[in-house]
Structure 1
């Protein structure tokens, strides 16, 4: 009985040693990840100054220190002095995703009607955060 147990244990040990070690997949190198963002993201066309209503405004600048598809959004997004700041944004499928004190936001292209603001209704080139908050170019 001991002999049988010893032989089975030895066979099990040899079988385990014969298995190749499996490694976790490595993430793609930075050079490959960089190719996932287009050379010129469509959101690069949004760089510059945008105007809202009642003194609201948005300025988009590239954040080249991080890489393609990254932006700095300087905005006055509400009527209170505290409703302003500079936020880091990143190109997303539908626009520029960013976070500010009122939560995660998505800046997307639209027209004046999409802003929901009658003062911007006739504009054609606008960016909208939510209905009631939009910025347009003339």
Structure 2
């Protein structure tokens, strides 16, 4: 190899090394992704239960409210009483006389009440305490 060729090769290698050492601008980060608008929260299933539900012998259940907070009025043979209820998944929870109660959707048979056994659209607190829409 002649000196000129060796010198040229050395110069090219040195230029490549120096090019690698140069200050380069930092890579530009991509702009932050636009955050997707927050999806509206689904209304609790219990929002569909708002209204009056009838039981036997003049009893009824009335659900008022929306968005997970409800007033539950229970009219039984002793008169009406109202309780604060909260949506909890597929049911409403409320406290009555120190006991946590659960109001859930059922058919008439699940109410445990023969007067409601033929009904399809009902709410049940416990077996023997149910209310249906006519």
TM-score band by shorter chain is 0.5 to 0.7
Identify the match of residue 39 of structure 1 among 35, 39, 42. 42
Larger Rg: 2
Residue of structure 1 aligned with 2:130, choices 126, 134, 138: 134
CA-based RMSD? 1.8
Q: Which residue of 1 aligns with 2:61?
A: 58
Structure-1 residue corresponding to 2:99? 103
2:41 and 2:122 map into 1 onto residues whose CA distance is 22
What TM-score do the two structures reach when normalised by structure 1? 0.64
TM-score (norm 2): 0.66
Deviation at 1:94, TM superposition (A): 3.1
* Distance apart, 1:40 and its partner CA: 1.2
Cα distance in 1, alignment partners of residues 116 and 98 from structure 2: 23
Q: How many residues align?
A: 96
CA distance in 1: counterparts of 2:132 and 2:84, whole angstroms = 20
The unaligned stretches of length 5 or more in structure 1 are: 1-34
What are the Cα deviations for residues 21-77 of structure 1, in whole angstroms up to 9, with x where unaligned?
Answer: xxxxxxxxxxxxxx8x933111100000000111210111116xxxx210011111x
Could you tell me how far apart the structure 1 residues matched to 2:71 and 2:41 are? Answer: 18
Does 2:119 match 1:120? no
Give me the whole-angstrom Cα distance separating, in 2, the residues matched to 1:50 and 1:107. 12
Q: Which SS does the other structure have where 1:45 is aligned? A: helix
**Runs of 4+ displaced beyond 3 Å:** none
